[in-house]
Amino acid sequence: MAVTEAQACRAIRRAELEWAPEVKDPRAEKGQRHSHHGMLSLLVAAFACGRIHLRNVEDLSEDLGAGARRRLDLSRRVSDTALYQLLSRQEVLGLRETVWKQVRQLIDQKVIENDLFKLGVLSVDGKCCWKSTSRQVEGAKTSIDPKTGVVTSSLSTFLGVLTSSSVRPCLDMELIAEKSGEAPAFRKLLPRVCQHFGGQFRIVTADAGLTCRENAQTVLEQGKDYLFGLKGNQPHLHRLAEDAFIGCPGPARAHTSDRRNGSTMFRELHIVNVKGVPEADFPGVVELWRVKQATVPDDSAQEGSEEVRYFVSSMSPALLTPTQKLALVRLHWGIENGHNWTVDVALEEDDVRPCQASQDSIEVVAWLRVLSYNLLAAWRARGPKKDQQPLPWRRAMELLRDAFLTARPEQFATPV
């Protein structure tokens, strides 16, 4: 599948990021061989192509087409040593604002739209971005295995992803270091996202680990509705939900079925309105939802499974149809299956760490991966299709690399 000239131009323009003024060059003023922003853009472009090792980034810089080289302001090959030295000294300041600029541009170009859920859904979740048993970094969390005595250092990120868009862009990120957690990170991240992208979503979804009074109140104060998972960390509300759904009162409000890995999965939704119920003492609570999922293998010799999950919602009963409510429950997993899986597997965040000299350098790489994921996801959404579906991530990365290698300077004479 050949890359067209228009696709090559689009790829280069997406890689030519508008870096925030706060992103300062940490290098000495004299003796510079490469543009500062050009080197950062090269790293983003390379990561988006799956070239995560710095030696592979160097190879890509040598192979770049003349058009990409000119647009990224790179006159020659960039060595892996120069890239490492830059990452080890680069400050985090301004990288969040650069992500905001990138996302805003994609929204203005209508690449990012609420094509999966019209009301707009922001899903939040945390994930590990760095872990090591051989290196310790100041500010990282540490844990000791009681059996082996092995010390593990780790840093996590807390992400806000627009799961109502098929692009599933990451809108913001908060680093979770020592003596911090996901719940406080939620209360930092959400107001920022609402300030810059509040018009893109109406509903905020989160796993049960984030369900607490403070986070619910934060959502309400931003003029949004929440759908939170409900487990034993909220024992009173969880017990109320279990009691409310004893015997599954009334028929299922909605049900779906689909096939996965040689099994059929059946889901059904039950709803109880608890607005004004004194026992439901939780900010803004209106409904409790119960989703029952049964998995039936095709092979009768295999045993099926059943899972029941509870949710707490602040949404008006009339805001969504029952079918939309069940779709919303499944949509939340887009942050895990769409965004986090891609970053972990395609962009190799779990396995490859280009620079781990300090907490700042680890966070810088995490921000560059956010930019690269958004670049790749936007390219894939507007790129070639196979059977009317987006290409597999690996194939999309290969074609994106082809675009960087084949772009010619004359292709940028007129807008595409």
SS (H, E, C) the chain: CCCCHHHHHHHHHHHCCCCCCCCCCCCCCCCCCCCHHHHHHHHHHHHHCCCCCHHHHHHHHHHCCHHHHHHCCCCCCCCHHHHHHHHHHCCCCCHHHHHHHHHHHHHHCCCCCCCCCCCCEEEEEEEEEEEECCCCCCCCEEEECCCCCCEEEEEEEEEEEECCCCCCCEEEEEEECCCCCHHHHHHHHHHHHHHHHHHHCCEEEECHHHCCHHHHHHHHHCCCEEEEEECCCCHHHHHHHHHHCCCCCCCCCEEEEEEECCEEEEEEEEEEECCCCCCCCCCCCCEEEEEEEEEEECCCCCCCEEEEEEEEECCCCCCCCHHHHHHHHHHCCHHHHHHHHHHHHHCCCCCCCCCCCCHHHHHHHHHHHHHHHHHHHHHHHHCCEECCEECCHHHHHHHHHHHHHHCCHHHHCCCC
- Kindly give the interhelix angle for 80-89 and 36-48, rounded to the nearest 10 degrees: 110
Domain boundary among 268, 293, 316: 316
Same domain, residue pair 363 and 297: no
Same domain, residue pair 93 and 26: yes
When pLDDT is averaged across residues 399-407 and rounded to a whole number, the result is 86
Cα–Cα distance, 154 to 143 (Å, whole number): 9
Same domain, residue pair 296 and 377: no
Q: Which residue has the tokens 């270091």?
A: 177
152: in domain? no
When pLDDT is averaged across residues 247-269 and rounded to a whole number, the result is 75
116: in domain? no
pTM: predicted TM-score of the whole model, two decimal places = 0.92
301: in domain? yes
Residue 275 tokens read as 């607005």
119: in domain? no
CA 153 to chain centre: 23
Reference 343, options 187, 161, 111, 164; nearest CA is: 161
- pLDDT band of 408, cuts 50, 70, 90: low
Domain boundary among 263, 293, 316: 316
Same domain, residue pair 296 and 367: no
Cα–Cα distance, 124 to 89 (Å, whole number): 30
Same domain, residue pair 303 and 380: no
- The domain total for the chain is 2
When pLDDT is averaged across residues 236-251 and rounded to a whole number, the result is 82
Q: Determine the pLDDT at residue 96.
A: 98
344: in domain? no
Domain boundary among 316, 340, 375: 316
Same domain, residue pair 10 and 87: yes
154: in domain? no
Domain span at 275 = 228-316
**Range from 32-36, 112-116, 347-351 carrying the lowest mean pLDDT:** 347-351
Q: Cβ(223)–Cβ(192) under 8 Å? A: no
- pLDDT band of 251, cuts 50, 70, 90: low
Cα–Cα distance, 136 to 234 (Å, whole number): 35
- pLDDT band of 168, cuts 50, 70, 90: very high
Same domain, residue pair 308 and 374: no
- pLDDT band of 378, cuts 50, 70, 90: very high
Same domain, residue pair 9 and 57: yes
Same domain, residue pair 307 and 365: no
Same domain, residue pair 289 and 363: no
Same domain, residue pair 88 and 9: yes
User: Is 90 exceeded by the pLDDT of residue 83?
Assistant: yes
When pLDDT is averaged across residues 101-118 and rounded to a whole number, the result is 95
Same domain, residue pair 291 and 359: no
User: Is 60 exceeded by the pLDDT of residue 3?
Assistant: yes
Q: Determine the pLDDT at residue 336.
A: 76
